[in-house]
Amino acid sequence: MPKITLPDGSAREYENPVTVMEVAESIGPGLAKATLAGRVDGKLVDSSTVLSADADLAIITERDGDGLEVIRHSCAHLMAQAVQRLFPKAQVTIGPVVEDGFFYDFAFSRAFTPEDLQAIEKVMGDIVKENLTVERSIMSRSDAVTMFKEMGEEYKVQIIESIPGDEDLSFYRQGDFIDLCRGPHVPSTGAFKAFKLTSVAGAYWRGDASNEMLQRIHGTAWGSKKDLKLFLQRLEEAEKRDHRKLGKHLDLFHFQEEAPGMAFWHPKGWSIYQTVQRYMRKVQDEHNYKEINTPQLVDYSLWEKSGHASKFSDEMFSVESENRMYAIKPMNCPCHIQVFNQGLKSYRDLPLRLAEFGSCHRYEPSGSMHGLMRVRSFVQDDGHIFCTEEQIQAEVADFMAMLFAVYKDFGFDEVILRLSTRPEKRVGSDEVWDKSEQSLKDALNATGLPWELVPGEGAFYGPKIECSLKDCMGRVQQCGTIQVDFSTPGRLGAHYVAEDSSKKEPVMLHRAVLGSFERFLGILIEHYAGAMPTWLAPEQVVILNITDKQGDYCLNFEESLKNKGFRVSTDLRNEKIGFKIREHTLQRIPYLAVVGDKEVESGTVAVRKRGGEDLGTMTFDDFCTLLSQDVARFGRSEQLDNS
RNA sequence: GCUCGCAUAGCUCAGGCGGUAGAGCACUUCAUUGGUAAUGAAGAGGUCCCCGGUUCAACUCCGGGUGUGAGCACCA
């Protein structure tokens, strides 16, 4: 006589063991219809699961986050079934749930085409109409291997053989399709309401580039047609914001064949870049960093000493000149240590914070490049703090505070923190690792924010914190980092004289707030959809005349604004005012100042924001005040208007 | 680097189952001097990514290269 307790605290008693679905039916037919799975005592199960003892039960529907997972996972099976109906020779491999959808990898003699995808989607629809029951079953490993061997599913055999342990395996069957799977799954193939196959591409078997390539089909699935539509709209919105598109449209930068992965910055893009750089310079100055600059070409021997050559020589550009081999620097740390090494350092000099807007070049694999997000030539807002072990925590805390303030100014309020700790292959004693990991933990706890522990993902030379931000599309972008390094300073001969006159190696903290300017600008462009806040906008104001008569007045006004430090231009073209407003609005100019006879007469301008808001006429002084206030609030979102 | 796709005017894109190409916007000129998201007219603009091959003939077909897109792999 199981007593089933529901999430609202109500309990129901049943004469005999019941399935999750039967409980749902006893509550109401509407719920039964919507039932996808159940959560019994916190564990996700199929709706066919029998409850014979007392249990806490939550009925999972599409509204539940887990319900969506069940739908997507089941949809992967649905797709695999459709693929095998159309292409019986295609072998199934794996088909997990990913963010917003799922994929399934197939081994097939050729690549699937977009036409194939349409056909597969159609067959998926047919299978939904057939409303096949999804049945769970248990099989021994040996039976399962025999079955898949008979079916010619070599990959499934491999998967089973790689699952440790001897326990029986669960299978899900729908019609003629059966797949090894932990589940849970939807009760029947009629449960799908909204799905779409989105793309097809190659993917390596088991994620290993030395293995053969499979055909991966991506799809998305939702609880309702409306949700699917919203998702597709989100994709469209993301496409509109694509920084590569906006970079062209707003004349910010370009790429060309002769310099793959290296941006040509145009005046407007470079203006944003420089504004960001000036800002970072000021912030770092306030945090007592000393800015330096180090060579682009450094003899290869330094990279051998630092250990980079042995690990990354394939990804380094090198230059030969007069029988000497140089590398174009792929990173700044060895150079910063050279600066540290000049002159004898005392413990009194620590912490020493060196910063460089360091231009780096890396030969990134051709297929990995992506607009500004991954380039071969980039500038890091790089910094290295030389300090003692005792100083680590305070330095990390200062860095975190700086990072939060910077991200806020750029309009990013949500920061996601991760701590990566000691990997198996590492240098340094456990004692030192303990201490530095603890310092990072303390610094993270001091932020009062949640953080995630990623064991074993630290660098070989020390643990690190990674700071990601969330843009307005909800996408997570890793930008900032601070890493503890016990190894490199010693390798490159850095030391200082301690209080007791002994010679000690400093700890080096590698840190960056933005990461690379290129990537960060890409993120900013997409975050703001090109409509940069006034402080960043390459052109803050465009003055527009209505007829030729106001030309001189406009130019004088422009000159006065420029003298106040604003970025202004004047559009005196012989075009209608509506045309000019349209054009500059499309160029995302924050403020348009319109001048006609009335304004000339009253010594004012008529101000319009790019969102269309009419601020009315105002004097030069009032306009300056308005602009100054807008610039001063940076991109902080609490005051961000959506114009 | 791997799989598949793509490469035509400054931009966004049409086009032809082999006979050297077109639109819209932008640009130039002329007219127009207009009050808050497109004034009208005319003109100019292309080695159809590069190198080979097939062919009487290649922008089109084939091979190779480069760049680029999606994904995978990589990312100090």
How far apart, in whole angstroms, are the C-alpha atoms of residue A146 and residue A141? Answer: 9
Among all protein residues, pick the one whose CA is nearest to the C1' atom of B50. Answer: A257
Whole-number pLDDT of residue A642? 47
Closest-approach nucleotide to residue A616, Cα vs C1': B36
Which of the nucleotides lies closest to A216 (Cα–C1')?
B71
Q: How far is the CA of A316 from the C1' of B2 (A)?
A: 21
- Using the CA of A259, give the nucleotide whose C1' is nearest: B67
pLDDT tens, A406-456? 999 999 999 999 999 998 888 888 888 898 899 899 989 988 999 999 998
Neighbour count for residue A347 (Cβ, 10 Å): 16
Q: Which residue is nearest to nucleotide B33 (CA to C1')?
A: A547
Give whole-number Cα distances, A296 to A290, A314, A329, A592, in Å.
19, 18, 6, 42
Task: Tell me the Cα Rg of chain A.
Answer: 31
Q: What is the DSSP letter of A133?
A: B
CA–C1' gap, A475 and B56, in angstroms: 59
pLDDT digits (tens, 9 = 90+) for A8-25: 888 888 989 999 999 999
Distance B50 C1' – A335 CA (angstroms):
40
Q: What are phi and psi of A393, to 5 degrees?
A: -60, -45
Which neighbouring-strand residues pair with A614? A608
Sign of CA dihedral A594, A595, A597, A599: positive
The nucleotides of chain B lying under 7 Å from a protein CB are 1-5, 11-12, 31-39, 66-76
Q: Which of A174, A215, A380, A550 is catalytic?
A: A380
CA distance A229 to A239: 15
* pLDDT at A310 > cutoff 80: yes
Return the amino acid letter for A110. R
Q: What's the angle, vertex CA A231, arms to CA A226 and CA A233, rounded to 5?
A: 95
| Closest nucleotide to A598, Cα to C1' | B35
Closest residue to B73 (CA, C1′): A209
Catalytic residue among A333, A387, A467, A554: A333
Question: CA(A610)–C1'(B12) in Å?
Answer: 24
pLDDT band, very low/low/confident/very high, at A531 (cuts 50, 70, 90): very high
CA A212, A215, A219: angle at the middle one, nearest 5? Answer: 145
Nucleotide nearest to A549 (CA to C1'): B33
CA-to-CA distance for A424 and A107, rounded, in angstroms?
A: 34
Neighbour-count burial of A190, counting CB atoms closer than 10 A to its CB (0-12 exposed, 13-18 middle, 19+ buried): middle
* Rounded average pLDDT over A625-630: 97
Amino acid found at A499: E
Give the pTM: 0.94
Find the helix or strand (DSSP H, E) in which A281 lies.
helix A267-286
A333 flagged as catalytic: yes
Cis ω for the linkage preceding A7 (within 30 of 0): no
Q: Of all protein residues, which has its CA closest to the C1' atom of B70?
A: A201
Q: Per residue in A125-137, pLDDT tens?
A: 999 999 999 999 9
Measure the CA–CA gap between A607 and A543, rounded to whole angstroms: 9
Write the CB contacts of A109 (distance below 8 Å, at least 6 apart in sequence).
Answer: A89
Is A495 annotated in the active site?
no
Strand partners, A234: none
In the structure, how far is the CA atom of residue A255 from the C1' atom of nucleotide B20, in angstroms? Answer: 29
Instruction: Considering the candidates A39, A422, A464, A567, report the single residue annotated as catalytic.
Output: A464
Q: How far apart are CA A580 and CA A36, in angstroms?
A: 56
Averaged pLDDT for residues A619-628: 97
Q: How far is CA A544 from CA A231, A597, A610, in A?
A: 40, 12, 14
Can you give the distance from the CA of residue A201 to the C1' of nucleotide B57 in angstroms?
A: 39
Instruction: Give distance CA A82 / C1' B21 (Å).
Output: 43
Task: Count Cβ atoms below 10 Å from residue A66 Cβ, excluding itself.
Answer: 16
Is residue A167's pLDDT more than 90? Answer: no
Q: In angstroms, rounded to a whole number, what is the distance separating the alpha carbons of residues A405 and A188?
A: 51
Out of A85, A218, A353, A362, the active site residue is A362
Using the structure, give the distance in angstroms from the CA atom of A341 to the C1' atom of B74, rounded to a whole number: 33
Residue A560: which region, alpha, beta or left (left: phi > 0; alpha: psi -120 to 50)? Answer: alpha
**Per annotation, catalytic residue among A156, A218, A510, A527:** A510
Q: Is residue A602 within a helix (H) or strand (E), and if so which, with residue range? A: helix A597-602
Report the nearest residue to nucleotide B71, CA vs C1': A201
A491 phi and psi, to 5 degrees? -55, -35
Give yes or no for residue A643 having a pLDDT over 80. no
pLDDT band at A1 (very low <50, low <70, confident <90, very high): confident
Q: What is the mean pLDDT of residues A220-244?
A: 94
Distance in Å, residue A613 CA to nucleotide B32 C1': 29
**Catalytic annotation on A510?**
yes
The token pair at A154 is 């070599």
Higher pLDDT, residue A461 or A72:
A72
What 3-state DSSP class applies to A32? helix
Whether A382 is a known active-site residue: answer yes
Average pLDDT of the residues in A313-317: 94
Shortest CA to C1' contact from A483: nucleotide? B76
Out of A116, A382, A471, A485, the active site residue is A382
Q: Which pLDDT score is estimated for A638?
A: 60
Q: pLDDT > 90: what percent of chain A?
A: 85
Burial class (CB in 10 A: 0-12, 13-18, 19+), A457: middle
Q: How confident is the model at residue A376 (pLDDT cuts 50, 70, 90)?
A: very high
Work out the angle at residue A636's Cα, subtended by the Cα atoms of residues A631 and A638, and round it to the nearest 5 degrees.
Answer: 120
CA of A196 to C1' of B57 (A): 46
Question: Can A362 be counted among the known catalytic residues?
Answer: yes
Measured distance CA(A66)–CA(A42) in Å, rounded: 11
Burial (CB count within 10 angstroms: exposed 0-12, middle 13-18, buried 19+), residue A561: buried
The pLDDT score that the predictor gives to residue A425 is 81
Q: Is the peptide bond before A351 cis (omega within 30 degrees of 0)?
A: yes
**Looking at per-residue confidence, does A168 or A309 come out higher?**
A309
Q: Does the annotation count A181 as an active-site position?
A: no
Would you say how long chain A is, in residues? 643
User: What are A259-284's pLDDT values in tens digits?
Assistant: 999 999 999 999 999 999 999 999 99
Nearest nt to the A198 alpha carbon by C1'? B70
Q: Which residue has the closest alpha carbon to B12 C1'?
A: A249
Q: Which nucleotide has the least CA–C1' distance to A611?
A: B37
Active site includes A266? no
Decide: A494 and A402 in contact? Cβ < 8 Å. no
Q: Which one, of A156, A265, A172, A340, lies nearest residue A538 by Cα?
A: A265
For A492, counting Cβ atoms within 10 Å of its Cβ (0-12 exposed, 13-18 middle, 19+ buried), the class is buried
Q: Of A85, A216, A336, A384, which one is the catalytic site residue?
A: A384
Query: Is-contact A492 A341, C-beta < 8 A?
Result: yes
Amino acid at A466: E
